Each structure stands twice: as structure tokens, then as C-alpha cells.
């Protein structure tokens, strides 16, 4: 009986994995023609030296143009690092990338421009943002970009959905079921929770998009553990290269910056990770508190507008200038 059960379970597992792979739709949406699939957590990346348009999230009829450099980033091409030059690499998602604003309005580019205007032309700020990336994908991206750009400092721009899987791009089943020893039993538990109990009676080890970002930060969730682990690995990677890492927690601009802000527990969780891991964490919900969030977002999309990016850039510049590595005095200060 035990042998028969084991054989039946193995057959069910094999058949389910075959079915999942057979029905997996790896096609990207038509407006993502400049994306290519890559193995591992990163799932996708932009093609180098590509150009195109993306639609707004609220009003898809409104679009904005973008282009990529040789590394597939929304940034100018960077040549060999010159003696005396300093580089700051900002890793992040669509907020960092500058979704729904012009390339020059994204906060990394704005920070670089403001630094040059204020007498610091030797400080480069590189935009390492990719829309829809989560922390695991950003960790993989950082590993690829570190030897390319040789940064002197790294900032991770953390958003409240960074523990969630990609939402707009197809995720291979190997990623979706990466925590599950049995894909079949995991899916069986998912179906029972959803259709029979209509609540999470069984703990799920399937990485699916949550209806509420706070679900990913519940005590028994694997999502926040993955996100925290990715930050820890970024810390270790930067430490090995003798490069400081800091985290900027960016608020959700679709919500009011007041006591009703729903994602405060996520901000607090990431701040606690920073204390545990020895990584400086700066919460930008604090400087934006009490302000009119509607005046700081793109109405046809929901992402931060050019003024919000300028404010984030000013905050980033202040953090850069606090680092003794970037303490060179500008001509106006000498």
C-alpha cells in the first residue's frame, strides 16, 4: 500500500509538472517588445540600445517614450570610470526607472544633474531601476552591474510591493514553485484554500501575487523572508567590494501621507531589517508626511511625477554628501 501510494504520488507530481510547463504562457504583452526572458529570479530584462513607448497604468491611451543604454538600463551609456570620478548606483523598480516621466526627470538623473550644477561634476548617479522588479530580481541585477560600473556607493530604492512577484510579465513555474518540494500538493492546498475554505487554512508555498501587500509581510509569509534575504545578500556583495549599501524606502504616492497610510507596517519591517543587518535605512515617508500626495503623482498613471522625483533626488543628494567618500568640496565652497 505504501509503495502504491508513493508511486501514485510520484506520477501525480510528474503529470502536474508536465501540465504546468505545457500550459505556461511565456509570451510577453505586446507593448513589451523590448524585453527578453532570462533564467533565474530576474525573469526578464530590457534589450540594450532599444527604444519604445509604455502606456499609463490608469489611462493606457496616454504613453511616454523611453530608451535603454548598452546595459539595458534607462540611463546614458557610461564609459570606463575615470580617475577621481565617483559613482553612485541606484537599484530599484519602476519608481527608480522613472515610469510615466521623461528620462531626464527620473530621480537618479535629476540627482546627477543637480550635483553637477552645484559643483560636483565628478559624481555620477546611475539609474539601475527596472519596472516590475522585486528585491530578488534587484539583487541579481546588482550582481551583474557591480563589475560593470564599479560604484563607490549603492542605494536600494525599496517599494511596498517589492516582496511580490512580477505582475506584468510571465513567471516561469520554477520560480512560482521554488519553495515547494511538491508542486502538486502545493497547488492542491491553494485550491482548497480558495474554493473550499475561502481562507488560508493551509500554508501555501506558492509564490503568487497577493491581493494586499501586507499579506506578504505576515509572520508566516515566505515573501518577506525572500526580500530580506536578498537585501542581506546585497549587503554581503557590497561589503566584499568595500562599497557602502543604504536603503531608501519610497512611499506609495497613490495614498495620502497621513495616519491613514496603509503600508506603514511594511516601512517599519524594512527599517527593522536594516537595524538587524547593519544597513542604513532612510524612510522617505517622513519628509513627505502631511503633504498633498495628489500633487506629486502622474494623474493618468499613479507613479510619482517630476516634482516628486526632484524631491527624492534632493534627499538622495543629501545622503550622498554625508558620505566622506563624496566629501570633496565644490568650487563655491572652497
Alpha-carbon gap, residue 282 to 88, rounded angstroms: 16
State whether residue 46 is helix, strand or coil: strand
Let me know if residue 63 belongs to a domain: no
Above 80 in pLDDT, residue 64?
yes
Closest residue by Cα to residue 321 from 157, 158, 159, 153: 153
Which helix (H) or strand (E) segment is 99 a member of?
none
Which helix (H) or strand (E) segment is 229 a member of?
helix 223-240
**76 or 190: which leads in pLDDT:** 76
Above 90 in pLDDT, residue 325?
no
What pLDDT score was predicted for residue 329? Answer: 54
- Residue 30 is classified by DSSP as G
Check if the beta carbon of residue 159 is closer than 8 Å to that of residue 252. Answer: yes
Alpha-carbon gap, residue 291 to 225, rounded angstroms: 32
Check if the beta carbon of residue 49 is closer than 8 Å to that of residue 68. Answer: yes
Let me know if residue 138 belongs to a domain: yes
Pairing state between β 153-158 and 86-92: parallel
Let me know if residue 258 belongs to a domain: yes
- Residue 217 lies in domain: 74-169+208-322
Number of H helices, E strands in the chain: 10, 9
What pLDDT score was predicted for residue 26? Answer: 82
Paired with 128 in beta bridges are 91
Alpha-carbon gap, residue 97 to 208, rounded angstroms: 24
Residue with grid cell 503600508, as numbered in its chain? 263
Alpha-carbon gap, residue 132 to 109, rounded angstroms: 20
Above 60 in pLDDT, residue 117?
yes
Kindly report, residue by residue over 132-162, the tens digit of the pLDDT. 999 999 999 999 999 999 999 999 999 999 9
Q: Residue 194 — very low, low, confident or very high, per pLDDT cuts 50/70/90?
A: confident
Kindly report, residue by residue over 252-287, the tens digit of the pLDDT. 999 999 999 999 999 999 999 999 999 999 999 999
What is the pTM assigned to this prediction? 0.92
Alpha-carbon gap, residue 69 to 284, rounded angstroms: 29
pLDDT, the chain, mean:
92
Let me know if residue 179 belongs to a domain: no
Beta strands in the chain (DSSP E): 35-37, 44-46, 51-55, 63-67, 86-92, 123-129, 153-158, 245-249, 281-283
Alpha-carbon gap, residue 127 to 91, rounded angstroms: 7
What pLDDT score was predicted for residue 5? Answer: 85
Q: Domain holding 281: CATH number?
A: 3.40.50.1110
Above 80 in pLDDT, residue 31?
no
Let me know if residue 200 belongs to a domain: no
Closest residue by Cα to residue 238 from 159, 134, 145: 145
Closest residue by Cα to residue 82 from 149, 142, 147: 149
- Residue 86 is classified by DSSP as E
Q: Name residues whose C-beta falls within 8 Å of residue 82's C-beta, 6 or more positions apart in sequence.
A: none
Cell readout for 264 is 506603514
What pLDDT score was predicted for residue 334? Answer: 43
What pLDDT score was predicted for residue 210? Answer: 80
Percent of the chain with pLDDT over 70: 98
Let me know if residue 38 belongs to a domain: no
Q: What is the largest CA-CA distance in the chain?
A: 85
Let me know if residue 14 belongs to a domain: no
Count of domains in the chain? Answer: 1
- Mean pLDDT, rounded, for 91-107: 98
- Mean pLDDT, rounded, for 178-206: 85
Cell readout for 151 is 560604484
Q: Name residues whose C-beta falls within 8 Å of residue 302's C-beta, 6 or more positions apart in sequence.
A: 57, 58, 100, 253, 254
Let me know if residue 268 belongs to a domain: yes
Q: Residue 54 — φ and ψ, nearest 5°?
A: -120, 150
Kindly report, residue by residue over 216-233, the tens digit of the pLDDT. 999 989 999 999 999 999
Above 70 in pLDDT, residue 332?
no
Pairing state between β 281-283 and 245-249: parallel
Amino acid at each position: 500500500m505504501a509503495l502504491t501510494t508513493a508511486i501514485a504520488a510520484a506520477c501525480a507530481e510528474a503529470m502536474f509538472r508536465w501540465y504546468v510547463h505545457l500550459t505556461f504562457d511565456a509570451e510577453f504583452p505586446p507593448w513589451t517588445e523590448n524585453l527578453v526572458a532570462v533564467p533565474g529570479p530576474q525573469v526578464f530584462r530590457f534589450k540594450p540600445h532599444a527604444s519604445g513607448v509604455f502606456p499609463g497604468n490608469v489611462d493606457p491611451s496616454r504613453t511616454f517614450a523611453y530608451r535603454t543604454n548598452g546595459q539595458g538600463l534607462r540611463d546614458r551609456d557610461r564609459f570606463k570610470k575615470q580617475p577621481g570620478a565617483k559613482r553612485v548606483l541606484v537599484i530599484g523598480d519602476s519608481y527608480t526607472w522613472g515610469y510615466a516621466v521623461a528620462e531626464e526627470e527620473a530621480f537618479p538623473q535629476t540627482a546627477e544633474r543637480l550635483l553637477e550644477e552645484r559643483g560636483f561634476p565628478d559624481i555620477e548617479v546611475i539609474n539601475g531601476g527596472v519596472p516590475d522588479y522585486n528585491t530578488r530580481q534587484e539583487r541579481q541585477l546588482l550582481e551583474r552591474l557591480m563589475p560593470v560600473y564599479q560604484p563607490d556607493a549603492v542605494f536600494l530604492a525599496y517599494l511596498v510591493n517589492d516582496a511580490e512577484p512580477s505582475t506584468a510579465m510571465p513567471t516561469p513555474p520554477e520560480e512560482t514553485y521554488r519553495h515547494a518540494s511538491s508542486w502538486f500538493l502545493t497547488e492542491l492546498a491553494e485550491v482548497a484554500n480558495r474554493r473550499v475554505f475561502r481562507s488560508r487554512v493551509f500554508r501555501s508555498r506558492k509564490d503568487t501575487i497577493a491581493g494586499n501587500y501586507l499579506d506578504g509581510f505576515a509572520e508566516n509569509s515566505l515573501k518577506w523572508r525572500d526580500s530580506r534575504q536578498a537585501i542581506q545578500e546585497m549587503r554581503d556583495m557590497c561589503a566584499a567590494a568595500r562599497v557602502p549599501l543604504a536603503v531608501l524606502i519610497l512611499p506609495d504616492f497613490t495614498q495620502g501621507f497621513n495616519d491613514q497610510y496603509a503600508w506603514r507596517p511594511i516601512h517599519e519591517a524594512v527599517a527593522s531589517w536594516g537595524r538587524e543587518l547593519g544597513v542604513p535605512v532612510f524612510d522617505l515617508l517622513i519628509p513627505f508626511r502631511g503633504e498633498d500626495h495628489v500633487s506629486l503623482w502622474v494623474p493618468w498613471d499613479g507613479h510619482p511625477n517630476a516634482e516628486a522625483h526632484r524631491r527624492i533626488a534632493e534627499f538622495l543628494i543629501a545622503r550622498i554628501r554625508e558620505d566622506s567618500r563624496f566629501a570633496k568640496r565644490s568650487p563655491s565652497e572652497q
